[in-house]
Amino acid sequence: MTDHTTTTGGVAGRVRTVEHLDRGPLGRDELAAAVARDIPRGSFVNLGIGQPTTVADHLPADAGVVLHTENGMLGMGPAARGDDVDPDLINAGKVPVTELPGASYFHHADSFAMMRGGHLDVCVLGAFQVSERGDLANWHTGAPGAIPAVGGAMDLAGGAKSVFVMMTLFAKDGTPKLVPECTYPLTGLACVRRLYTDQAVFHIGPDGVTVLETYGTTVRHLAARMDVTLHTLGGPRPYGGS
Amino acid sequence: MTAVVVSDPDEAVAGVEDGSTVLVGGFGMAGMPVRLIEALIRQGATDLTVVSNNAGNGDTGLAALLAAGRVRRVVCSFPRQSDSWVFDGLYRAGKIELEVVPQGTLAERMRAAGAGIGAFYCPTGVGTPLAEGKERRTIDGRDYVLEYPIKGDVALVAAHIADRMGNLVYRKTARNFGPVMAAAAKLTIAQVSHVVDTGTLDPETVVTPCIYVDRILDLSVTEAAP
């Protein structure tokens, strides 16, 4: 399996930070496609509920990526339609799905052992916040009266060799969601490796946050809007922070 | 003792006592033992602790058991769903206790119960609110919290086919919690689509061996009855 860790000379095949200034931010579909492009061929992958599910639509059929769903299946196919709908064959979002050749079924303890045991290559999750150390908050707003529900979020956060997060970089009120410290209740510590957002793609490692690409904005501009030190590839000077 | 096959749902759940811990299979409606839950409502056992992934969908099955006021406490990973209005109402009214457990930890705690494990160190949830108050230990540089087994007095599960001894085969993702729950309870009751003669199932395909199963409800007979 390809290792996703930082290697000398670049991150995820990139040697320089690229600022795409000839375009605006990524749309939802483009964001899903950006995640899909970085999933190595032949990976075992779990796509979280909601937006991460759409990454599957952008994985080429010949990429050999095998999808895991934590309710007990490897080799999950696309959503089922019409006569293919089977109430016994659903994904973690409880949506009817299909099985692909080579699929297998297993019980819940095995499914999460597979995850916890570090056998999955990549999982893709949504988030409320990610910290500059890679802490993840995605299960609970912490709002008074909110009913807590964690599902498999904590298992997934700690359960893949690489955890990718996809989210908007800023909340509706303009507050950054990549933060020095999460203020929402945590899902996992130092678990996020890669952060895909509408405005930029980041790598998070022991040395902090590295911007890989920006979309319709510059690293300098993003740094001015966030309280996080942003490193660049091929450019030694970090931006921002305090 | 090998399993007893019955066609009457009420007979299948006879003897469940007040205050029992009941493990209820299913992930959403896949693998949900609806006919057994309906029978448990009629049976009347109350003050129950229910362990299940969700806390009921819509108004049937587990949601109906909750609505009937029989459940004191729910242990689950994901109670809040678009159609969990029964649980939501009881929780907000302070009429039901909730223990939220990460899904894999929920499964492993039951697996541990069935396997005779006293407790285990688990990395899931370290540093989060769900690990507060739990014993913590660092092993080989990784942090873990101590998790205890969840034992059931009763397990209600749904499988696809049983033989007359109680060997179970499941179907697709409806397998989910069935095998771990079947092993984790003192009394395991399975509803199945149909029962075949012993010796008909390929032994290589049996997922839950009959040693874990006490009673089988044969829905092919139940539903054919007038």
For residue B76, give the CATH number of its domain. Answer: 3.40.1080.10
Supply the angle between the helices B103-115 and A108-116 in degrees, to the nearest 10: 110
Q: Which of A35, A41, A49 is nearest to A201 (CA)?
A: A35
Per-residue pLDDT tens over the stretch B132-172: 999 999 999 999 999 999 999 999 999 999 999 999 999 99
Task: Give the count of Cβ contacts less than 8 A between chain A and B.
Answer: 144
* E strands present in B85-184: 97-100, 120-122, 136-139, 142-147, 152-163, 168-169
Question: The CATH number of A18-232 is which of 3.90.1150.10, 3.40.50.300, 3.30.1330.30, 3.40.1080.10?
Answer: 3.40.1080.10
Number of domains in chain B: 1
H helices within A57-152, ranges in order?
Answer: 108-116
Q: What is the reported pLDDT for A236?
A: 64
Contact B177 A90 (CB under 8 A): no
- Residue B101: domain span: 4-118+149-222
Whole-angstrom distance, CA of residue B180 vs CA of residue A216? 50
* CA atoms of B12 and B35, how far apart (whole Å): 10
Could B172 and A99 be called an inter-chain contact, meaning their C-beta atoms sit closer than 8 Å? Answer: yes
Annotated catalytic residue A70:
yes
Q: Are B223 and B185 in contact (CB under 8 A)?
A: no
Task: Judge: B79–A90 Cβ closer than 8 Å, yes or no.
Answer: no
ipTM: 0.96
pLDDT confidence of residue A4: 39
Residue A81 token pair: 């339609």
pLDDT-derived band of residue A234, with 50, 70 and 90 as boundaries?
Answer: confident
| Whether A158 contacts chain B with CB within 8 A | yes
Q: What is the pTM of this model?
A: 0.94
Of the candidates B100, B173, B174, the beta carbon closest to that of A148 is on B100
Q: Domain ranges in chain A? A: 18-232
> Any CB–CB contact under 8 A between A69 and chain B?
yes
Q: Is the pLDDT of residue B185 over 60?
A: yes
Which one, of A95, A127, A134, A129, lies nearest residue A6 by Cα?
Answer: A134
**Across A169-194, average pLDDT:** 97
The answer on pLDDT for A2 being more than 50 is no
